Amino acid sequence: MKFLEVLAGEAIWPPPLWLMRQAGRYLPEYRTVRAKAGDFISLCLTPALAEEVTLQPIRKFGFDAAILFSDILILPMALGQDLSFAEGEGPRLPPLETASLLNPDRAAGVYAPVIETVSRLRRSLPKETALIGFAGGPATVACYMLDGQGGGFPRTRRLAYENPRFVRDVLAILTDATVEYLSAQVNAGADCVMLFESWAGMFPPAQFRDLVIGPNRLISDELKRRHPGIKIIGFPRLAGLMLNEYTQKAGVDAVGLDNVTDIATARAVCPPGMVLQGNLDPLLLKLGGKPLEDAVSALLGEMHGYPHIFNLGHGITPDVPEAHVARLVELVRRG
């Protein structure tokens, strides 16, 4: 598989391509299945439906990799925290007051349907399509657990200074649970895994080391011990200059780049051999036309000869016209 060869460090031209949130609301067939499921969490926890929406963008656009359809917040839910998605408003959880509320022993039973989705996908995906398993990075998941919703995470930021022991306790539980969760995905057939540390860039350097790099490293080391050769993609969004330390110390094989990071600079600060994924501005996919064409050709030109997985710098937004995605695929395939 082209995707896995690049993940192993080979430069392949043209590069393999997939898009974060490639299964989602910009696709009418996703909206149909989503309506049938009723709510988003039921969609994540119904293997036949989660399998179907994972496959939809593969059938339509022939991406080189499929990403398991689920959400990073299924894990805190499995650990015992209530979770809901208010229509049009994003996730809501009761802000966590004590780590003792979390029960790692029950988690595998709750996320079992997600693992079942991975097994189904292993059988139903075309043989040339890689399957990406994923989890949220512990710091990012803790942000939602401690604040209960997105939007700056003011409580998490305070707690990281005022009650670091509590934050570390939560992260320790999440780190162990994430290893078990990802390991189960690999056992069920995921070809590689991605850690979404979407809010990594919010933490000042000392906390970034402690809360982002440390737990990511523990997860990478333990997964590689259990599954020799498994590749891990880290996504420390908005890491800025901490990208250097992250890629040296987090134990990942590839790094997803957000759309404000200059990819040539990223290449220069990452250790030799680090595979880069990203980093097209998702807004360009909404706009289409010349701005999209120019940016795609600049990115392809910049990464020619280096191991690169073409992707966006963040997820596709629901307002993206399908025709623009089709055009992007055409442009990347042409090289």
Catalytic residues: 21, 25, 34, 71, 144
* CB of residue 267 to ligand CP3, shortest distance in Å: 23
- Which residue's structure tokens are 């609301």? 25
Q: Please enumerate in sequence order all residues whose Cβ is within 8 A of that of 74, keeping only pairs 6 or more positions apart, or say none.
A: 41, 44, 45, 83, 110, 111, 114
CB of 87 to ligand CP3, least distance (A): 7
Binding residues with ligand CP3: total (CB under 6 A): 20
Which contiguous run of DSSP H or E holds residue 193? strand 192-197
Query: Position 155: which residue type?
Result: R
DSSP state of 293: H
- Between CA 288 and CA 325 the distance in angstroms is 9
Q: Closest CB to ligand CP3 among 90 and 126?
A: 90
Least distance (Å) between residue 305 CB and ligand CP3: 28
Let me know: does 11 contact 306? Beta carbons within 8 Å.
yes
Distances (CA, A) of 315 to 79, 86, 265, 277: 26, 19, 22, 13
Site string for ligand CP3, 137-176 (x = CB under 6 A): -------------x--------------------------
C-alpha–C-alpha distance, residues 181 and 293, integer Å: 39
**Residue 142 · residue 170 · CB < 8 Å:** yes
Binding mask 50-79 for ligand CP3 (x = CB under 6 A): -----------------x-x-xxx------
Residue nearest to ligand CP3 (CB): 198
Q: Tell me how far, at minimum, the Cβ of 316 lies from ligand CP3, in Å.
A: 8
Q: Helix 154-162 vs helix 164-188: angle between axes, to the nearest 10 degrees? A: 120
Give whichever of 289 and 321 is closer to ligand CP3, judged by the CB atom.
321
Site string for ligand CP3, 207-246 (x = CB under 6 A): ----------------------------------------
Q: Provide the minimum distance between the beta carbon of 195 and ligand CP3 in the complex, in angstroms, as a whole number.
A: 10
Distance in angstroms (rounded) separating the CA atoms of residues 64 and 172: 34
Beta-carbon contacts of residue 168 (< 8 Å; ≥ 6 apart): 210
Q: Half-sphere exposure of 325 toward its Cβ, with a 13 Å CA cutoff?
A: 26
Q: Which of 3, 63, 153, 196 binds ligand CP3 (CB under 6 A)?
A: 196
- Taking CB under 6 A as the rule, does residue 296 contact ligand CP3? no
Site residues (CB under 6 A) for ligand CP3, limited to 2-31: 20-25
When the beta carbons of 56 and 183 are compared against ligand CP3, the nearer one is 56
Site membership for ligand CP3, residue 313 (CB under 6 A): no
Site residues (CB under 6 A) for ligand CP3? Answer: 20-25, 34, 40, 67, 69, 71-73, 90-91, 134, 150, 196, 198, 315
